[in-house]
Structure 1
């Protein structure tokens, strides 16, 4: 399986929806898409709701995006962390900017509707 990133942008913010498997095979492409968003926007949100798998190379891509965001004064947030990745993050020291869902929130499991008819 592969990973994909759909970036929805406006003039100040980008939301990057990462789907599939973020691993050694897909991490370089996803990393570049995230870095492009960080370089072009004041705020970047990385949404992992549809991420099925993330290995250490994928985690490295997220950390690289975070470090680049800090260097460019871009606000970066990671939201909708899948359980597998949340377990990994509990095992390692990190400073990834994770947005915690509200206590009673249901997972989104989808993409926003962009425009209508």
Structure 2
């Protein structure tokens, strides 16, 4: 499951903030050619990729707890409270009722072994 919010300003601001506050972070860190990697091994007869999209609704406090649980957020260190305060402001501008609606993409890669 990956957040699928590239077109949203709140997500762009979050990524910019993360990249600025944690030099080891880059927004594309999860982008990998999983299916191609399996094909390249030559061990599979067929590799199929399925993608599903969904949204979750989560209140702002739970959302910030989820953010805090990420290793690349924890790596911000002494500036973590600044990050979380800025996140709260950004998210409340985007979601004034305090309920974040976050789009996700689920990727399933199926590799079939030869018979």
TM over 0.5: no
Q: Higher helix fraction: Structure 1 or Structure 2?
A: 2
Q: Normalising to structure 1: TM-score of the pair?
A: 0.28
Q: Normalising to structure 2: TM-score of the pair?
A: 0.29
Higher RCO (CA 8 Å, separation ≥ 6 residues) = 2
